[in-house]
Structure 1
Amino acid sequence: MQKPEAAPRPGPLDHHYSGEHPLRTLAYLFRPDRARLLLVVAVFTVKHIPVWLLPLITANIIDVVVEHRPVSELWFNAGALVLVLALNFPMALLYARLMSTSIRRMGRELRSALCRRMQYLSLGYHARVSAGVLQTKVVRDVEAVEQMTQQSGDLGLGAIMTLLGGLVVIGFRTPVVLPVFLVVVPLAALLVRRLRSRIRTNNEEFRLEIERLSSRVGEMTTLIPITRAHGLERTALHRVDRTLERVLTAGFRLDVLNGRFGSLSWILLNTLAVGCLTGSAVVAYYGWMGISAGDVVMISTFFTALTASLMTLMNLTPVISKGLESVRSIGEVLQAPDLESNEGKTSVERVEGRIDFEGMGYRYPEAGEPSVRGFDLSVRPGETIALVGASGAGKSTLLNLLIGFIRPTEGRILLDGADMASLDLRTYRRFLSVVPQESILFEGTIRENVTYGLAGGEDEAALRHALDAANATEFVDRLPDGLDTVVGQRGARLSGGQKQRLAIARALIRDPRILVLDEATSALDNRSEALIQDALARLVAGRTVFVVAHRLSTIRNADRIVVMEHGRIVETGSHQELLARGGAYATTLQPRRSG
């Protein structure tokens, strides 16, 4: 019989992250690519040479023409520019390859670390944090980190290289105007930044309206069956239309403000550029400071380029802030303390199936009363235990304790005489199968769903045996593609009973020593349930089985029935014994005798 694959080992990042500054986390993420990133900077520098070299060569060519220098200087400058332009293409390809490799590797490792961490976080954590929030962290937050890194590289490096290159060229060619640039260019950028800050509130308002629209559309799609069933289409559309109107108003206001900002910024920068051009031209005209006609063009060009570079760096601030906030958001998962700790504990290599609950109890965090308390029960290997009780009696909590999703807050649970607190629960669960009340299937074939988690190759005979035992063969063979039929997302193409029988087959193919059935037959009709009860009667032999059910047909054949109230055991015994006593079991059974 196939054995389940071993549990994945945790990666380095999820244990490394301990709440440090996001930049330190990013540095850690990119540590394996340090050499590659240094090469990225070098390659980008070569690729970017034409941006700051073009104004200098343009100035040289103009001076050659105006001052009637030898024409060979013109060809030399043109040739140098063509050379660096030709270098741009291979350097750009190399830069894109190196940068993409580092960023995509980082994104993969970050997503992998999040997924690993979620696998080890306790069931209580997953009950508190919605699946949608975790999905957003894995998909959108990591994407925001990737975008921040990509744009910081593409735009940030370009702006820094333009600033450094331009200031070096100006300092070398016309050092007398360098102080002017160091004052006027930052001042121009700050003035534009001041104008831009006015639209931040409108951006925030528009973003919130878009989020409300997303929420409203999601709500509408979820409620479509109810909406159509009650003829409420107009009501649903009216609710969405109101939100669309708010999005329209906020978007229009933002567009007008952006247009105003763009126009004012353009006028301001071009006015300063005209002032720079005019000032340098006047200085050149009167022959002051040794500035030539080519220098005038170069200074004017560099003023525009350097101002634009400073603006680029300022505009990167929101992108960087968003990316760093995403790193913090990811850190909420990576540093969540609610972990199932298995490191250094005893590995379970063999299970007989004896379970002992000794004074066991559990209280959920912030709960007023314990869900299970004073629970004492010894279960022999191969024994079938049925748990019975009203909703809230503690049955599901007891199963979660047995599986190891939660740990007792008092007392202990022994597996074959060993305290489960000292065992590696990942290895213990290789001998355990669970069929939950709501069957969970993924979008794949029937074969893939039933054999999920098995290693060592597919055993067709074992697969067929499990399907036969779960009474699933009859409908699987009628499907057009048989075992290779795709079940759809969450098994949407199958009926409830069919999904549940596949979930039972998935549990049985693992050949477990301990079997947990949580309302496993609740979705079956009477005919299917009768057939599966016969199969379960054969398959539970030699296994320790815990059953939670409300149907009398499911629990009456159990070796012992445990009746629970308010987290305590009130009576135990076989079906006939409990009926003869006339206690809680016999009393609560009256409305269900027909089950």
Structure 2
Amino acid sequence: MTSSSPLDHHYRGENPLRTLLYLLREDRGRLALGTAAFAVKHSPTWLLPVVTANVIDIVVSHGPLTQLWLNCGLLFALLLLNFPGHLLYVRCYSRSIRRMSTGLRSAICRRLQELSIGYHSRVSAGVLQTKVVRDVETVEQMVQQSADGGLAAICSLLGGLAVIAARTPVFLPVFLIVVPAAATLVMRLRSRLRSHNEFFRQEVEVLSSRVIEMTSLIPITRAHGLEQDAIRRVDGTLHQVQGAGLRLDLLNGRFGALSWVTLNALGVGCLAVAAQVAYSGAFGVTAGDVVMLSAFFTTLTAAVTALINLAPTISKGLESVRSIGEVLQAPDLESNAGKAEVAAVTGAVRFEAVGYTYPEAADPSVADFSLDIAPGETVALVGASGAGKSTVLNLAIGFLRPSTGRILLDGVDMETLDLRTFRRSLSIVPQEPILFEGSIRENVGYGMGELPEEKVRDALRDANALEFVDRLPAGIDTVVGERGARLSGGQKQRLAIARALIRDPRILILDEATSALDLRAEALVQEALARLMHGRTTFVVAHRLSTIRGADRIVTMRAGRIAEIGTHDQLLHHGGEYADIHAANIA
């Protein structure tokens, strides 16, 4: 990772404005050029009152016509510069903003790959999706709108104040009242805007989670006639978002109205004073100056109002910066940096008095778990729900690190290993196979680059999948649909086995791989699993005892501890907990 990566920045505890400057630091030169181009292309806005004042004074005093045409020619030339100046500004700022948003999204996705499985189990996919899509888009809009509206307002303010200071300096203090008044309004309401934006953002994240939950549960909802319950559940969240959004809109509305009235009242007062001064002939203020000052009242009032109106957008954008920082600075990382890479795995796994307690849990999920597994051995874990079987699997994969004890891989403490390299020798066949919306070829060979077609077909054949794949319209190039929606459960499971086979793993994890299948599909999958398990160290978790009957050893677990260990026949003869589970299974 390069030093310029957005992941290098410490978002937590950092002012979000400073974070924003950090994200844009590589484009400082381009942004400076774009700002200069904007100043040139925007100059007619604040020069027009000056030219108008000059023309009026020339007309009133019957001055030389050459000066009149010179003023108009100057303004016309600046107008012509608007087009190339605007294009240069858009090119510079758009490229910088797009690069920033792309870099942020890439950084979030990279960090999501580095965060632990525990983090992903606590934070819903909907919330993370919102951060990648909505929050980055909000930051992008904040920068873009601040550039468009903010630069215009600042150029108008600086240009106008410079002209007033040079031409009618007596009125400069009057104009300078407008800016502090606006700043006071912004500072008083900024804290409230921030808290309301944060609350609204959290409500939208909850809504995103609810919608994803609703869509994933549609088959169950429809099957049980619970459509109205699902709608009421989402409607409750929608009303919460509506209420939070309405409160935020009302606050923004009060903020905008109050600032508009205040600033325009100041403008009217300044106009009255200028007219009175010109009428009395004091300070050399001319009729043209009154017109110029009147125009500047409107221009500068609009500029300050625009800056104030940017406050909600900026507040919302900065809150999104903080939201993104929650992911980029999440401490729950799987630490592999500087650890030894695993070049080869024989498959010997040893648990030495391993215990694990989940965060905020009162009791350990696994305690004093000791087990020595030889290369190529199949070990099955059985027990009631909550006995700790899945926790043991996650410890073996390295998704969780032991709270006590240690796990050795081929005699080496896994705490000292780069687990990413270890997992290249590991395959998992879960209860619900995870397929993406691509072809069968792409799903089976995921992450392995270009593979010979014959190698893919061999893996499908060994997984008992070729018989249905060859019947599909496009064979191995058939698109399986989102999450494999066009395939049956047994077909998806056999593709998952083919994906494991093609990797030739040394360690295999089977987590309820046949629990959701009918008898015929289970028979085909069991046959494929037997080929997959041959010669590989295998961990099996299954409620169907037919899946584990042939295991070299069966470990019965109770409350996170090992209750008994033996073969199928030994445990039945022993008449303990496994025998009770077996009897219940048969019944």
Contact 2:263 2:305 in 1 (8 A): no
Q: Structure 2: which 5+ residue stretches go unaligned?
A: none
* Partner residue, 1:21: 15
Output the amino acid matched with 2:440.
I
Q: Secondary structure at the match of 1:48?
A: helix
Match of 1:70 among 64, 73, 78: 64
Deviation of residue 391 (structure 1)? 1.3
Q: Please list, as runs of the form range in 1=range in 2, the aligned pairs for 1:5-404 lying within 5 A after superposition.
A: 12-17=5-10, 19=12, 20-183=14-177, 185-186=178-179, 189=182, 272-404=266-398
Residues 206 and 251 of structure 1 are in contact (CA less than 8 Å); yes or no, is this contact kept in structure 2? no
* Residue number in structure 2 paired with 1:517: 510
Q: Structure 1: which amino acid aligns with 2:416? A: S
- Aligned-partner Cα distance in 1 for 2:376–2:202: 59
1:454 aligned counterpart, secondary structure:
coil
**Equivalent residue number for residue 505 of structure 1:** 498
Closer, same or farther: CA 235–192 of 1 in aligned 2, 3 Å: same
Opposite residue 578 of structure 2, the aligned amino acid is: Y
8 Å contact from structure 2 (residues 490, 525) kept in 1? no
Match of 2:569 among 572, 576, 594: 576
Please list the CA deviations of residues 377-434 of structure 1 after superposition, one character each: whole Å capped at 9, or x if unmatched.
Answer: 2211111111122211211011000000011111111111111111100000011001
- Offset at residue 86 of structure 1 (A): 1.2
Give the one of 550, 553, 559 matched to 1:560: 553
Please say if 1:458 is aligned against 2:451.
yes
User: Residue in 2 aligned with 1:489?
Assistant: 482
1:10/1:490 CA distance change after superposition, 3 Å: farther
2:429–2:513: 8 Å Cα contact kept in structure 1? Answer: yes
Confirm or deny: 8 A CA contact 2:355 2:369 kept in the other structure.
yes
2:413 aligns to what? 419
2:525, 2:241 → 1: CA distance?
55
Mapped to 2, the partners of 1:577 and 1:9 lie a distance apart of 57
Of stretches 222-231 and 522-531 in structure 1, the one that deviates more from structure 2 is 222-231
Q: Does 1:429 align with 2:423?
A: yes
Question: Alpha-carbon deviation of 1:335?
Answer: 2.1
Stretch deviating more after TM superposition (302-311 or 147-156)? 147-156
Cα 1:290–1:110 shift into 2, 3 Å? same
After TM superposition, where is structure 1 displaced by more than 4 Å over at least 4 residues in a row? 8-11, 187-197, 203-275
**Structure 1 residues 276-285 or 157-166, which shifts more?**
276-285
| Kept after mapping to 1: 8 A contact 2:493/2:525 | no
Give the alignment's Cα RMSD to 1 decimal.
3.5
The answer on 1:478 being equivalent to 2:471 is yes
1: distance between equivalents of 2:61 and 2:225?
85
Deviations 1:504-525 (A, max 9, x none): 2222221111111101122322
- Distance verdict in 2 for CA 1:355–1:236, change over 3 Å: closer
- Does the C-alpha gap of structure 1 residues 186 and 537 become closer, same or farther in structure 2, counting only changes over 3 Å? closer
TM-score, L = length of structure 1: 0.88
Give the distance between the partners of 1:241 and 1:372, measured in 2 at CA.
40
**Aligned equivalents of 1:48, 1:214: Cα separation in 2:** 41
Q: 1:582 to 1:11 in 2, by over 3 A?
A: farther
CA–CA distance in structure 1, aligned partners of residues 243 and 366 of structure 2: 55
CA shift in 2, pair 1:435/1:23, >3 Å: same
The 1:55–1:394 alpha-carbon spacing in structure 2 relative to 1, beyond 3 Å, is same
Amino acid across the alignment from 1:383 = E
Deviation string 1:72-113 (CA, Å, 9 cap, x unpaired) is 222211211111111111111111111111111111222222
State the Cα distance separating 1:569 from its structure 2 match: 2.0
Is 1:536 paired with 2:532?
Answer: no
Closer/same/farther in 2, CA of residues 383 and 149 from structure 1, 3 Å limit: same
Whether contact under 8 Å (2:126, 2:212) holds in the other structure is: no
2-side partners of 1:240 and 1:397: how far apart? 33
What is the count of residue pairs matched by the alignment?
584
| C-alpha distance in 2 between matches for 1:121 and 1:235 | 34
The CA distance in 1 between the partners of 2:261 and 2:411, in whole Å, is 82
Deviation at 1:350, TM superposition (A): 0.7
* Matched-pair identity in %: 66
CA contact (8 A) 1:547 1:555 kept: yes
Alpha-carbon offset, residue 126 of structure 1: 1.6
In structure 1, stretches of 5+ residues that fail to align are 1-7
Q: Distance in 1 between matches of 2:187 and 2:361?
A: 52
Change beyond 3 A, Cα 1:417–1:550: same
Task: List per-residue Cα deviations over 1:130-167 (Å, max 9, x = no partner).
Answer: 22222222222222222222222221121111111000
The one-letter code of the counterpart of 1:487 is V
Moved more, 152-161 or 471-480: 471-480
SS for the counterpart of 1:413 is strand
Contact 1:370–1:567 (Cα < 8 Å) also in 2: yes
Deviates more, 1:340-349 or 1:562-571: 562-571
Preserved CA contact (<8 Å) 1:50 1:85: yes
User: Structure 1 residues 11 and 556, CA, compared in 2 at 3 Å: closer, same or farther?
Assistant: farther
Distance in 1, matches of 2:250 and 2:558, equals 66
Report the CA distance between 1:487 and its aligned residue.
2.4
In the alignment, is the contact (CA less than 8 A) between 2:259 and 2:308 conserved in 1? no
Measure how far apart 1:279 and its partner are: 3.6
SS in 2 for 1:478: coil
Deviation of 1:497 after TM superposition, in Å, equals 2.2
Partner SS for 2:386: coil
Select 1:548's aligned residue among 538, 541, 544: 541
Counterpart Cα distance in 1 of 2:2 and 2:368 = 36
3-state DSSP class of the match of 2:347? coil
Q: Which amino acid aligns with 1:538?
A: R
Note if contact 2:200-2:244 (Cα within 8 Å) is conserved in structure 1: no
| 1:4 corresponds to | none
Of 436, 439, 442, the match for 2:433: 439
Q: Letter of the 1:526 partner, please give it.
A: L
Q: Deviations over 1:341-365 (max 9, x none)?
A: 1111111001111111122221222
Question: 1:252, CA displacement in angstroms?
Answer: 9.4
C-alpha displacement of 1:210: 8.8
1:193 and 1:124 map into 2 onto residues whose CA distance is 41
Higher mean C-alpha deviation, range 410-419 or range 30-39 = 30-39
